[in-house]
Amino acid sequence: MDDVIESRIRLAKDYLAHTRLRVQEIAALCGYNSPEHFSRQFRRQCGMSPGQYRKSAQAQSRE
Protein backbone atom coordinates (compact mmCIF):
# COMPACT_ATOMS: atom_id res chain seq x y z
CA MET A 1 0.00 0.00 0.00
CA ASP A 2 2.93 2.34 0.66
CA ASP A 3 3.94 2.08 -3.00
CA VAL A 4 0.44 3.11 -4.09
CA ILE A 5 0.48 6.12 -1.78
CA GLU A 6 3.94 7.17 -2.96
CA SER A 7 2.85 6.86 -6.58
CA ARG A 8 -0.28 8.94 -5.99
CA ILE A 9 1.68 11.63 -4.16
CA ARG A 10 4.30 11.72 -6.93
CA LEU A 11 1.53 12.25 -9.49
CA ALA A 12 -0.05 14.92 -7.30
CA LYS A 13 3.27 16.78 -7.05
CA ASP A 14 3.48 16.85 -10.83
CA TYR A 15 -0.06 18.22 -11.14
CA LEU A 16 0.59 20.81 -8.43
CA ALA A 17 3.81 22.01 -10.04
CA HIS A 18 2.61 22.08 -13.65
CA THR A 19 -1.15 22.78 -13.70
CA ARG A 20 -3.64 25.22 -12.28
CA LEU A 21 -6.06 22.47 -11.24
CA ARG A 22 -7.67 22.89 -7.84
CA VAL A 23 -6.48 20.62 -5.02
CA GLN A 24 -9.89 18.89 -5.00
CA GLU A 25 -9.52 18.08 -8.71
CA ILE A 26 -5.98 16.78 -8.22
CA ALA A 27 -7.13 14.61 -5.32
CA ALA A 28 -9.78 13.01 -7.55
CA LEU A 29 -7.35 12.51 -10.44
CA CYS A 30 -4.95 10.75 -8.07
CA GLY A 31 -7.61 8.34 -6.84
CA TYR A 32 -8.74 9.98 -3.60
CA ASN A 33 -12.45 10.18 -2.77
CA SER A 34 -11.85 12.83 -0.12
CA PRO A 35 -9.77 15.99 -0.63
CA GLU A 36 -9.26 16.13 3.14
CA HIS A 37 -7.77 12.63 3.23
CA PHE A 38 -5.56 13.51 0.26
CA SER A 39 -4.32 16.65 2.03
CA ARG A 40 -3.54 14.71 5.22
CA GLN A 41 -1.59 12.05 3.34
CA PHE A 42 0.23 14.65 1.27
CA ARG A 43 1.26 16.53 4.42
CA ARG A 44 2.46 13.29 6.05
CA GLN A 45 4.55 12.37 3.00
CA CYS A 46 5.91 15.82 2.10
CA GLY A 47 5.90 17.81 5.33
CA MET A 48 3.72 20.57 3.83
CA SER A 49 0.23 21.05 2.49
CA PRO A 50 -0.52 20.70 -1.23
CA GLY A 51 -0.97 24.47 -1.46
CA GLN A 52 2.38 25.12 0.19
CA TYR A 53 4.03 22.63 -2.16
CA ARG A 54 2.52 24.40 -5.19
CA LYS A 55 3.82 27.79 -4.02
CA SER A 56 7.27 26.33 -3.36
CA ALA A 57 7.41 24.59 -6.76
CA GLN A 58 6.29 27.75 -8.57
CA ALA A 59 8.87 29.87 -6.73
CA GLN A 60 11.64 27.43 -7.66
CA SER A 61 10.63 27.43 -11.32
CA ARG A 62 10.92 31.24 -11.40
CA GLU A 63 14.52 31.15 -10.14
pLDDT in tens, 4-23: 999 999 999 999 999 999 99
Query: Given pLDDT bands bounded at 50, 70 and 90, which one contains residue 1?
Result: confident
Share of the chain above pLDDT 70, in %: 100
Q: What is the pLDDT of residue 62?
A: 78
The arithmetic mean of pLDDT across residues 21-39, rounded, is 98
The arithmetic mean of pLDDT across residues 15-38, rounded, is 97
For the entire predicted model, the pTM comes to: 0.92
Could you tell me if 53 and 16 are in contact, meaning their C-beta atoms sit under 8 angstroms apart? yes
The arithmetic mean of pLDDT across residues 27-55, rounded, is 97
Please state, as a whole number, how many other Cβ atoms lie within 10 Å of the Cβ of residue 7. 12
